[in-house]
């Protein structure tokens, strides 16, 4: 596609539910990133993939957060047993290695009630 797409755009979950957020990167981009943006804050790094390999997951806030990219393209961020503090916008980006530039999707706004 022309850009990074994410789905759903909005997700409301009850506390304790599991959620899955999807990211479709720009075709051909090897690197994929997930960021979390809390209200009124700048995005913060969660995890990084190079192809299907998850090379850095140092930003994941707890073991309830899990990300995968099994075929090196689409990625899913899963949050188990959601908590209110998980409410945020989750941004996905893919990177053009030639220009060291990340291109961001529109984000998924997660609200945990």
Partner 1 sequence: AQSVTQLDSHVSVSEGTPVLLRCNYSSSYSPSLFWYVQHPNKGLQLLLKYTSAATLVKGINGFEAEFKKSETSFHLTKPSAHMSDAAEYFCVVSEGSGTYKYIFGTGTRLKVLA
Q: For 82, phi and psi rounded to 5 degrees?
A: -55, 145
3-state secondary structure (DSSP) of residue 40: coil
**Which residue number, 16 or 101, has a Cβ lying nearer to partner 1?**
101
Smallest CA-to-CA distance from 108 within 32, 24, 28 is with: 24
41 lies in the site for partner 1, by CB under 8 A: yes
Task: Select from 42, 63, 70, 84 the one that contacts partner 1 (CB under 8 A).
Answer: 42
Please give the residues from 43 up to 82 whose contact with partner 1 meets the rule CB under 8 A: 43-45, 48, 55-56, 59
- Of 28 and 40, nearer to partner 1 (C-beta) is 40
30 contacts partner 1 (rule: CB under 8 A): no
Is residue 52 within 8 A of residue 32, CB to CB? The reply is no
Q: Which stretch binds partner 1 (CB under 8 A): 19-27, 42-50, 60-68, 74-82?
A: 42-50
Nearest-angstrom CA–CA distance, 81 and 66:
12
């Amino acid at each position: 596609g022309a850009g990074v797409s994410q789905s759903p755009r909005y997700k409301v979950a009850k506390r304790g539910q599991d959620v899955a957020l999807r990211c479709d990167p720009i075709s051909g981009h090897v690197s994929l990133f997930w960021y979390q943006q809390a209200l009124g804050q700048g995005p913060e790094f969660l995890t990084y993939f190079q192809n299907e390999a998850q090379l850095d997951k140092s930003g994941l806030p707890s073991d309830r957060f899990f990300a995968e990219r099994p075929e090196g393209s689409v990625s899913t961020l899963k949050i188990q047993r959601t908590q209110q503090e998980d409410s945020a916008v989750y941004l996905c980006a893919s990177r053009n290695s030639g220009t060291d530039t990340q291109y961001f999707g529109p984000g998924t706004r997660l609200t945990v009630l």
